[in-house]
Amino acid sequence: MSDALNRYYLQAMGIDLWELRRPHVSSEQGLGALAKEVAACTQCSLHKTRTQTVFCRGNSNAKLMIIGEAPGFFEDQQGLPFVGKAGALLNQMLQSIEMAENDVYIANVLKCRPPNNRDPQLEEIAQCSSYLERQIELIQPSLILALGRFAGQFLLNKPLPLKQLRKTLHHYHNIPFIVSYHPAYLLRNPADKKQAFLDLLTVKKLLVEKQG
């Protein structure tokens, strides 16, 4: 008999159920343990080519969580997300709405760099997704900014193009999120920086509304 069925019959007979209390684990403790778990991960083939895993940077108490797609060369070398040219642009983008690294928590869908910075593969996302899900659960942000279509598709669980993902307020487990351009894309297509800035203004507006 399954545990769930057993509990059902006990409740039906009016028998009180006793459950062991789980010890309280702070978000910092939980994130630390999760980071160690990620560092030892061998669930997909990317562990064979990585220099190190890339877990996060920023403030775990931040209201805004930013989610990118996958580490690049510099991220793989330093073990931090968004530290190359795309990271420098992201910092400038945040400064444009009067935010800094301490105001955000940054993570990626994948924790290991795909070889030659290729797109993440579906099986890699599937193997790695539980780590990001647990990060979001521990951070409990007020708002998520997804950068790039892979991050947006992961949160929405729909394979929509970026054009359809943008300019809409979505929800991931009751947490609102919006999707914008990845900084790496903006470096190749600077004409879309204005649209990205409009997305950032929406982010700032939503955060102000949350605080109000």
Residuewise pLDDT in 10s, the chain (212 residues) = 444 445 444 455 555 544 444 444 568 899 999 999 999 999 999 999 999 999 999 999 999 999 999 999 999 999 999 998 999 999 999 999 999 999 999 999 999 999 998 999 989 999 999 999 999 999 999 999 999 999 999 999 999 999 999 999 999 999 999 999 999 999 999 999 999 999 999 999 999 998 86
Residue 96 tokens read as 């444009």
Neighbours of 98 (CB within 10 A): 8
Determine phi and psi for 147, rounding to 5 degrees. Answer: -105, 110
Whole-prediction pTM: 0.86
Crossing angle, helix 122-139 and helix 27-39, to 10 degrees? 160
Dihedral over alpha carbons 87, 93, 99, 105 (to 10 degrees): -40
| Distance in angstroms (rounded) separating the CA atoms of residues 104 and 81 | 12
27-206 CATH pick, 3.40.470.10, 3.40.50.300, 3.30.70.260, 1.10.3720.10:
3.40.470.10
Do residues 109 and 150 make contact, with C-beta atoms less than 8 angstroms apart?
yes
| CA atoms 24, 30, 36, 41: torsion sign | positive
Q: Where are the domains of the chain?
A: 27-206
| Distance in angstroms (rounded) separating the CA atoms of residues 143 and 114 | 27
Do residues 52 and 74 make contact, with C-beta atoms less than 8 angstroms apart?
no
